[in-house]
Amino acid sequence: MTSTKVYYKIGEVAEMFNVNTSLIRYWEQEFKIIKPKKSSKGTRLFTKRDIDNFRIIHELVKVKGMTIQGANDFIDRTEKENSFEKVDVLNTLHRTKSMLLEIKNILDSKE
């Protein structure tokens, strides 16, 4: 299921990654690749590109256990190598995991 939204609010982003909005704000400060637009009222508006970057940060920090500095160094290296295609792989893996969990839930409910 593909979303047609252009912008996401901070609460939506936090929910996507199952984290608090304060962590999203912290990561925004710590990672220069996160550049939300701001409405006239100061509401952060994140793009699909920001979401992809959050997915990378989440994978590095929360899943792989890297420090903020380690994740920043990794991102800087991969930006220089121009190899951010990895986000496509991460997105595919997350979609596959979701589909498999849905199938598992269906099978479990039939038992």
Q: For the domain that residue 43 is a member of, what is the CATH number? A: 1.10.1660.10
The tokens of 101 are what?
Answer: 């969990």
**Given this model, what pLDDT does residue 77 score?**
83
Report the helix count and the strand count for the chain, using DSSP H and E: 5, 2
pLDDT at 36: 94
Average pLDDT score over the chain: 87
Number of independent structural domains in the chain: 1
- What pLDDT is stored for residue 81 in this prediction? 60
pLDDT tens digits, one per residue of 50-99: 998 999 999 999 989 999 999 999 988 877 665 556 666 777 888 898 89
Helix (H) or strand (E) holding 33: none
For residue 99, tell me if it sits in a domain: no
Question: Domain for residue 61, yes or no?
Answer: yes
Residue 44: its H or E element: strand 44-45
Largest CA distance in the chain: 53
pLDDT at 1: 47
Whether 90 maps to a domain, the answer reads no
Which residues are 38's β-sheet partners? 44
DSSP state of 101: H
Residue 45, strand partner residues: 37
pLDDT given for residue 111 in this prediction: 75
Distance CA 52, CA 2 (A): 14
| pLDDT per position as a tens digit, 27-53 | 999 999 999 999 999 999 999 989 989
* Residues spanned by the domain of 60: 10-83
The angle formed by the CA atoms of residues 55, 60 and 61, to the nearest 5 degrees, is: 100
Q: How large is the average pLDDT for residues 6-14?
A: 95
pLDDT of residue 27: 96
